[in-house]
Structure 1
Amino acid sequence: MRSDDWHLTEDVNDFLTRAGAFLRSQPTQHTMALTATEKLRTRQADTDGVVFGRLEAGGEIRAIFYGSPSRALNVTSLTPEQADALAAQLVALGHSHSSVTADHSTATAFAEVWRRHTGATPTLRTRLHLYRLGTLTPPARAPVGRGRLAGRQDHELLMRWCQEFAEDVGQTVSIDAASWAGTRFADKSYTFWETPDGTPVSMAGLNPMVAGQVRVDPVYTPPHLRGCGYAGAVTVEVSRAALAAGSTDVVLFTDAANPTSNALYQGIGYLPITDWAVYGFAYART
């Protein structure tokens, strides 16, 4: 595998023209890339510095990546040989990525070759399970209350809960009115589960539909309200909404280390598809 089999561009529209069909061919497996590149396409100004790459062999696209040279790298499934060729090309271009996110075997292979090419120390940050909705099965004993779409009047609460969610999963982000539009939590629709008196107790977000797939993200319940079934109830609400909107693939990620959330989603009809991983890179000081 030659590194020059990878074709790079900073033009998201050109990239999607060439690689869009490949991404749409497996919408569940490519959920992260589909959602992220569509967001970058619609925002345009936010693509500054983001590099997109496609691996071509035999006249067909085999894989893609995207990411800023000094920030996170996201890749679709690669063999160890393909990962090595990609790492070699990115190093030659002066990239110093802070992390890699991919399916578990790809992320692990890339982390090893990146260590070999750069000397960076990889650390497994997060293991994720990717789920796809099978038959939606509401809980037999749902909590009392109802789902409600979030509106403008809920913006302060949404920002606060998204900030708390980010802190829960170990993400470093500061969310306020000025920064909201540039975060990964913007450009989604949100639904609350609220008690009969109208008090929100849990929320779930839906990313825009791309290639028939919709990803549920985030799902958050404040700590003092957990264990009451609110997260399951609001996830059922947004899953039902995604199906009603015509989605053929409703997916979500969970922390592999959290047995509660994994049991919850399986209990309402989500089926495990594959494991993902995020590796962070630490570079020696010079």
Structure 2
Amino acid sequence: MASASSESSFPHPWSGWWLTRDPAEFAERAGDFLRADPALHTVVLSVIAAQLAQDAPSPGASFGVWPDAEGGCAGYFFWTPPQLPYAVLPGPEAAHALVTLLGDALPDQPMTGVNGTEETAAVVAEAWRARHPEGRAERIMAQRLFRLVDLTPPDPPPPGRARPAGKEDRELVVRWFLEFADDAHLGARTTREQAEEWVDNRLSYQGVLLWEAEDGTPLSMAGVTRPAAGSVRVAPVYTPRELRGRGYAGAVTAEISRAARDAGTPEILLFTDLANPTSNALYQRLGYRPVRDFAVWEFRTGEVTATATP
């Protein structure tokens, strides 16, 4: 299990934040808060589970807790550059403190956006505008979190079958992950090294399912996160462009959802891009129902332009 020295924690009294570079320390401090609502906190739970399964935490990662009146956790952020900071916060005070903190205490990586719940992302964007009146903050993606309620697989399914991806599929899955990142406007923040790390992590616990043709040709894939607090999240789902519209994505999503359910996972989740009506309709046909909306914002000054990530 990944762990860092307790010296990696660095409280910042002037900002109100407690910080650490150790995912285990963060999980210990914020764990009760996160486990109280696994759906709301699905992203950070999956990130922590993945980091703790690695030999060492991701370099440059930072985790922060915004304390409540009793010293517990009222909100948090995590940042694994080059991805955007991800935050769930109780209100404007924490948002302004976060923008100040990331601008002053962690200045090496410019804050070029934010990801989180719809409410948190908007209030952080407002705080960033106040600090950078010459800059531009724009919501570039609206997302919706769905929960599996009643699995309804495609009937009839498309030709083919599902199987777990193995080591022999590594190069294909890496390529598809990078293509998925490009489709989702994540390409500027996703290197091949990061894609390989993601794939190796998923393959280590059979976290990728392929839909293949009868002759064994892979047609589509779906991933699933490690279980955390009784929940998993299906991500990503990808079909190459030339194979879309044939039902493969629905079939592989249904099968990976079934596998998670059969493994006894109480909460099975997934995100959609609200700008994509096809995927939103598909997942609802499969039995997923809306939980909450999230958003990705991009921040631009005269010096920095970046592509935000969901």
Regarding TM over 0.5, the answer is yes
Instruction: Indicate how the Cα distance of structure 1 residues 131 and 48 shifts in structure 2: closer, same or farther if over 3 A, else same.
Output: same
Instruction: Indicate how the Cα distance of structure 1 residues 142 and 103 shifts in structure 2: closer, same or farther if over 3 A, else same.
Output: same
Instruction: Report the alpha carbon displacement of residue 45 of structure 1 after superposing the two structures with TM.
Output: 3.0
Q: Which runs of 5+ in 2 are unaligned?
A: 1-12, 305-310
The equivalent position to 2:201 in structure 1, one of 169, 184, 187, is 187
The equivalent position to 1:123 in structure 2, one of 127, 134, 138, is 138
Q: Which residue in the other structure is 1:114 paired with? A: 128
Instruction: Report the alpha carbon displacement of residue 70 of structure 1 after superposing the two structures with TM.
Output: 7.3
The equivalent position to 2:25 in structure 1, one of 4, 14, 36, is 14
The CA deviation string for residues 202-227 of structure 1, in whole angstroms up to 9 with x for no partner, is 11011111111111111011111111
Name the TM-score, length of structure 2 as normaliser.
Answer: 0.84
Instruction: Report the alpha carbon displacement of residue 139 of structure 1 after superposing the two structures with TM.
Output: 1.8
Q: Which residue in the other structure is 2:5 paired with? A: none
The CA deviation string for residues 54-83 of structure 1, in whole angstroms up to 9 with x for no partner, is 111221311111115775211114322331
Q: Which runs of 5+ in 1 are unaligned?
A: none
Aligned-partner Cα distance in 2 for 1:149–1:23: 30
Q: Which amino acid is the alignment partner of residue 272 of structure 2?
A: T
Q: Is the 8 A contact 1:91 1:117 kept in 2?
A: no
Q: Which amino acid is the alignment partner of residue 62 of structure 1?
A: A
Aligned-partner Cα distance in 1 for 2:93–2:194: 40
Instruction: Indicate how the Cα distance of structure 1 residues 179 and 80 shifts in structure 2: closer, same or farther if over 3 A, else same.
Output: closer
Q: Which amino acid is the alignment partner of residue 278 of structure 1?
A: V
Of 118-127 and 251-260, deviating more is 118-127
Q: Which amino acid is the alignment partner of residue 97 of structure 1?
A: M
Instruction: Report the alpha carbon displacement of residue 134 of structure 1 after superposing the two structures with TM.
Output: 0.5
Q: Which amino acid is the alignment partner of residue 219 of structure 2?
A: V
Aligned-partner Cα distance in 2 for 1:101–1:186: 25
The equivalent position to 1:85 in structure 2, one of 94, 97, 105, is 97
Q: Which residue in the other structure is 1:242 paired with? A: 260
Q: Is the 8 A contact 2:19 2:62 kept in 1?
A: yes
Q: Which amino acid is the alignment partner of residue 209 of structure 2?
A: T
Aligned-partner Cα distance in 2 for 1:56–1:259: 39
Of 76-85 and 20-29, deviating more is 76-85
Residue 55 of structure 1 aligns to a residue whose secondary structure is strand
Instruction: Indicate how the Cα distance of structure 1 residues 156 and 90 shifts in structure 2: closer, same or farther if over 3 A, else same.
Output: closer
Aligned-partner Cα distance in 2 for 1:80–1:67: 19
Q: Percent identity?
A: 40
Q: Is the 8 A contact 1:71 1:99 kept in 2?
A: no
How many residues are treated as equivalent by the alignment?
Answer: 282
Residue 83 of structure 1 aligns to a residue whose secondary structure is helix
Aligned-partner Cα distance in 2 for 1:139–1:186: 30
Aligned-partner Cα distance in 1 for 2:234–2:80: 25
Q: Is the 8 A contact 1:128 1:256 kept in 2?
A: yes
Aligned-partner Cα distance in 2 for 1:187–1:70: 19
Instruction: Report the alpha carbon displacement of residue 7 of structure 1 after superposing the two structures with TM.
Output: 1.3
Of 144-153 and 249-258, deviating more is 144-153
Aligned-partner Cα distance in 2 for 1:229–1:278: 29
Instruction: Report the alpha carbon displacement of residue 193 of structure 1 after superposing the two structures with TM.
Output: 1.0
Instruction: Indicate how the Cα distance of structure 1 residues 94 and 125 shifts in structure 2: closer, same or farther if over 3 A, else same.
Output: same
Aligned-partner Cα distance in 2 for 1:158–1:164: 10
Instruction: Indicate how the Cα distance of structure 1 residues 283 and 185 shifts in structure 2: closer, same or farther if over 3 A, else same.
Output: farther
The equivalent position to 2:234 in structure 1, one of 216, 219, 229, is 216
Q: Is the 8 A contact 1:28 1:213 kept in 2?
A: yes
Of 132-141 and 261-270, deviating more is 132-141
Q: Is the 8 A contact 2:170 2:199 kept in 1?
A: no
Of 48-57 and 99-108, deviating more is 48-57
The equivalent position to 1:160 in structure 2, one of 161, 164, 175, is 175
Of 69-78 and 202-211, deviating more is 69-78
Name the TM-score, length of structure 1 as normaliser.
Answer: 0.91
The equivalent position to 1:151 in structure 2, one of 134, 141, 166, is 166
Q: Which amino acid is the alignment partner of residue 254 of structure 1?
A: T
Instruction: Indicate how the Cα distance of structure 1 residues 145 and 14 shifts in structure 2: closer, same or farther if over 3 A, else same.
Output: same
